Structure 1
Amino acid sequence: MALSAQDELRIGELVVRYAAAVTAGNAEQWGSTWAKDSTWHLRTKAVTGRDSIVALWRQLLPMYESILQLVTRGRLAEAGGVHGEWQVVEILRRAGSDHDCLQVITYSDRYVREAEQWLFAERRLNVRYRREMPAGEFLAQSPAR
């Protein structure tokens, strides 16, 4: 199967929707990016099944006061399925912390098409860089125009 330009656009939109849901702390939107039988790899832990993945995320989310994810670049490949790799910059603050953490993450993905949309079949998080820094100020989003 050859990826069309439209498929590439939709997969890029999926990645951005995921990051926007992380930033907003929106579990419903975040969960909608995962395929039913997907797997999420977090360092030494792997969780399978959208419901289990979302349940874990709901457990982890209260550990953070704020998270901001910025998608910087990505690439897609077709070799035994549709795969991608994305670099993401993340600024986060743990609940009750007096400092922030800057991370550069690589997500290694496998995608599947379900019900006419692209979803994550597998997503592997790999932190490439981490630095604690003085706390900045997370500002409320302006309403959409």
Structure 2
Amino acid sequence: MDPTADKLAILELVAAYGDAVNRRDGAAWIGCWAEDAVWCIRDRRIEGSAAILQTWETAMAGYADVHFFSHLGRLSVTEDTASGRVYTQEFLRTTDGDRRTQIGEYDDLFARRGGSWVFTARSFRIRDTV
């Protein structure tokens, strides 16, 4: 495969993920994940796309507004798998009106499935909250 095309496709995946968060589009968001994906967030490990989507929808219900921005900091592609790090900045307003800015990072694993790149594992860490 073409390494440049693979990197572009992964960049597009990261962008599609962020766009889905900002639009609160669960179908588009979970479409970025493999069915057998793993999401590690805080002290939780969620396995499988159905459980991942349910967890995300429950979390998103607590926010009136979410503005999610991300950029890919590192990417290594080998054939049909890749690893990378994505840095995030989120501007959040809860349904109670509380506001905070959250800075975080994902350590990611990607795979080409059915000709498209998807997340197979995402491990999120909060780096700072303001």
Normalising by structure 2, what TM-score?
Answer: 0.92
Q: Corresponding residue for 2:109?
A: 110
Offset at 1:3? 6.3
How many corresponding residue pairs? 128
Paired AA for residue 25 in structure 1: R
Q: Secondary structure at the match of 2:61?
A: helix
**Structure 2 unaligned residues grouped into runs of 5+:** none
Paired AA for residue 6 in structure 1: A
Q: Secondary structure at the match of 1:51?
A: helix
User: CA 1:62 to 1:44, structure 2 compared with 1: closer, same or farther past 3 Å?
Assistant: same
Runs of 4 or more above 4 Å deviation? none
> Which residues of 2 match residues 101-140 of structure 1 at below 5 A?
101-131=100-130
Q: Corresponding residue for 2:90?
A: 90
Identity of aligned residues (%): 27
Offset at 1:88? 1.2
User: CA 1:115 to 1:26, structure 2 compared with 1: closer, same or farther past 3 Å?
Assistant: same
Any idea what the Cα deviations from partners look like across 1:45-90, whole Å, max 9, x if unmatched?
01010111111111111100111111234210247x4101011111
Paired AA for residue 85 in structure 1: R
Q: Which has the larger radius of gyration?
A: 1
Check whether the contact 2:7–2:77 (CA below 8 A) recurs between aligned residues.
Answer: no
Q: Corresponding residue for 1:40?
A: 39
Check whether the contact 1:73–1:88 (CA below 8 A) recurs between aligned residues.
Answer: no
Task: Report 1 or 2 for greater relative contact order, CA contacts < 8 Å, sequence distance ≥ 6.
Answer: 2
**CA RMSD of superposed structures (Å):** 1.5
**Structure 1 unaligned residues grouped into runs of 5+:** 132-145
Check whether the contact 1:41–1:125 (CA below 8 A) recurs between aligned residues.
Answer: yes
User: CA 1:26 to 1:77, structure 2 compared with 1: closer, same or farther past 3 Å?
Assistant: same
